[in-house]
Amino acid sequence: MDKSKVLIYENKDLAKTINNELDNYVDALNEVVEKYPALELGGITEEVTELILSPLGGKTIETQYWNTLKAQLDKSGVTNKILRDTVLSGSKEPIEEFKAAHRKAQTLPLTYRDTLKYIVFDGSNFGLIKGYKEEVLERYAREYLTDKGEIMFFQAAKNLEKALSAFREELKKVEANYRISRTLGCLDSILKPTPNGDWVADPERAIYFRRYAVRNQSAAPSMKHTL
């Protein structure tokens, strides 16, 4: 355990949102992958995966598609404009389907776009790196204290929280057993103010409170402390 930092907050709802976004994004990217072979531009290289992930990558791939078709027509000696236009017009469907799939992926919400670094391509499909959920928690959903003074202050507050919790449980026993109003079960029964404005614990005061609660009297018994 790293004692140089202390976890004080973990937003699991945010982490869940990010994880769901990534799952949806991967599914959408794989739909883009399914449309790519019909373009006949070769295999999906690292450069192609970067274009698929990029918001502007679809436009680049579209340009490559039309340039490749035109180059093939040139190589085949097709110079007739009507024939060329007919071939090009009949070749719109594959690229339009690809563009639609790419546009769908790029319009999906991402709370943090840099979470795309958790997406990898294995040669056939997109997926998420191993252990990404823990990394998402650590990077985006957890807040730590690293300042030594803040850590000591926080730990002191946690100790107080634990002590107050135990005291409240004792108050509940008194209230449950003797049906004393919960308005009596307040911190005034153990805390008292000091002249300089601080608050200090007063266990003796707490005992007087408990005795009063147990006796269930209508008026407080004589005591040296005022409840």
Taking all residues of the chain, what is their mean pLDDT, rounded to a whole number?
A: 84
Mean pLDDT of 85-98: 92
Judge contact between 5 and 142, C-beta under 8 A: no
Q: Which two three-digit tokens encode residue 3? A: 């004692």
* Cα(99)–Cα(195) distance, integer angstroms: 74
pLDDT tens across 150-175, in order?
888 888 888 887 887 787 777 677 66
Could you tell me which residues are beta bridge partners of residue 76?
none
Mean pLDDT of 211-221: 56
Res. 221: pLDDT tops 60: no
* Cα(191)–Cα(26) distance, integer angstroms: 56
Torsion of CA 170, 173, 174, 176, to 10 degrees: 150
Phi, psi of 195 (to 5 degrees): -55, -30
Positive or negative CA dihedral for 17, 19, 21, 27? negative
Higher pLDDT, 9 or 188: 9
pLDDT tens across 47-74, in order?
999 999 999 999 999 999 999 999 999 9
Say what the pTM is: 0.70
Mean pLDDT of 178-202: 60
Least confident residue range of 15-29, 144-158, 193-207: 193-207
Mean pLDDT of 112-122: 95
* Cα(193)–Cα(200) distance, integer angstroms: 6
Q: Who contacts 6 (Cβ-Cβ below 8 Å, separation ≥6)?
A: 144, 145, 151, 154, 155
* Cα(170)–Cα(173) distance, integer angstroms: 5
Judge contact between 35 and 44, C-beta under 8 A: no
Res. 214: pLDDT tops 50: yes
